[in-house]
Amino acid sequence: MKRSYIPFLMILSILVSACSTEENMPENNDQSLLKSYKLSRDANGRYAIDVDLVEGAYTETYKDEATQTNNIYAYQGDANNAQRNASKNNLLTLEDNKIKVGVFENNVQKNSIWVEDENIVLGRGQISPDFLESYSIEHMGGDEYVLDFNVRNNVSVSFEYNADENIYEVHLMEGNSNGVQFSKIYNKSPNLPLRIDFVNYILIKPEANGRGASAEYALTRVPRVGSDQPGL
């Protein structure tokens, strides 16, 4: 009796083909390609975006002129490509006192980080107190963000939360210094944008000794930093 091996060979061929296709498929696009990314301003007023990638990833950066957004795209690929990785540290400029950075992984937008600030290189505002020397906002993955900043000497720093407007506030004023370097971790709510304001107390009328009159201050909110998610 003659036996037929054709069905068995067909099944074996299909299994081998399936295994080969699975091996050649790209890695899971849901994998986070960015360990962290940071938007910063140094003491000379220069702004930069720094990106820390996982192994085997690279970034490309494009400027959306219509929205004045600097978009960073992270892809899986050859991390040794020098031309592609030249965008890992980018200098940025204020556009109408704003910088916005959109963050994408495998063409899917994750969120954005931004600052609103004064251009201290071209000229300081008349009421700018210059309490703040440098600062950065860094996304560490998940909902965690780190705010690092330096102030000059003789500046008092305190932290508050404005629950009515969902704004974290950093209060700066002349006074007894409690340090010059600060770092604070913020956990962003998944359903709300992250907002952090530096609130500057500018003395406009000193305290009148012996007259019972307290000092008067003008308040400015600059810089402002934050993070958004698509749809918020």
pLDDT at 133: 93
Which phi and psi angles does 14 have, rounded to 5°? -65, -40
User: In this structure, are residues 139 and 117 in contact, taking their beta carbons and an 8 Å threshold?
Assistant: no
At residue 167, the pLDDT reads 97
Within 10 angstroms of residue 63's Cβ, the number of other Cβ atoms is 12
C-alpha dihedral over 71, 73, 78, 80, to 10 degrees?
30
Give 43-81 as a DSSP string: TTS-EEEEEEEPTTEEEEEEEETTTTEEEEEEEES-TT-
Which residues, 6+ apart, have CB-to-CB distance to 180 below 8 Å?
Answer: 150, 151, 152, 153, 155
Q: What is the pLDDT of residue 125?
A: 44
Which H/E stretch holds residue 114? Answer: strand 108-116
Where exactly are the structural domains of the chain? 34-228
Amino acid identity, position 113: I
Please give the pLDDT value at position 149: 98
3-state secondary structure of 15: helix
Hunting for tokens 């899986």 — which residue is that? 76
Starting at the edge strand found earlier in the chain, the sheet holding 144-151 runs 89-92, 47-53, 34-41, 132-139, 144-151, 181-187
- Residue 28: its pLDDT value, please? 45
* pLDDT mean for each 10 residues of the chain (232 residues): 50 44 42 88 91 88 89 79 48 91 88 88 52 94 94 95 96 91 94 95 80 81 88 48
Q: Are 227 and 188 in contact (CB under 8 A)?
A: yes
Token code pair at residue 12: 């074996």
Q: Cα(221)–Cα(200) distance, rounded to whole angstroms?
A: 6
Of 176, 214, 225, 222, whose CA–CA distance to 198 is shortest?
222
